[in-house]
Homo-oligomer: A and B are copies of this chain.
């Protein structure tokens, strides 16, 4: 059967700051600029989750999108939305919440829930001008 990739778009709004606790304030400020603001700033994150596999000849689906949509809601949107990433999410206790690191966290959370027969990749927009992609490499 042909291998097709299905993509589903989602979003969440969060606050964060870029910060490395091992560094002095001056170094944090120098490296992370205004993203280091101790009072936080935030983003409307737009997320595209992509799943690649063979079309099921019975349904015509690679994966039932209502199941994928449900997974994204329970694992990602409900977990990240309207949260302060630095304070409220354990993954970022010792990990700087850059777009790169957030994309790896999202990938890992979804990878556990999606069949290993399916390839997974992630696109995460921090702003319309800055975004990242990650596929588990």
- On whether the beta carbons of B41 and A42 are closer than 8 Å, the reply is yes
For residue A76, give the distance in angstroms from its CB to the closest CB of chain B.
14
What is the total number of copies of this protein in its complex? 6
Number of interface residues of A (CB under 8 A): 62
Chain A residues numbered 68-103 whose CB sits less than 8 Å from any CB in chain B: 81-84, 87-88, 95-101, 103
If over half of A's interface residues share one DSSP class (helix, strand or loop), that class is named, otherwise mixed; here it is mixed
Q: How far is the CA of A41 from the CA of B41 in the complex (A)?
A: 8
In angstroms, Cα B123 to Cα A6, docked, is 10
Q: Are B82 and A41 in contact (CB under 8 A)?
A: yes
Which A residues from 38 to 71 make CB contacts under 8 A with B?
Answer: 39-44, 50, 55, 58-62, 64-66
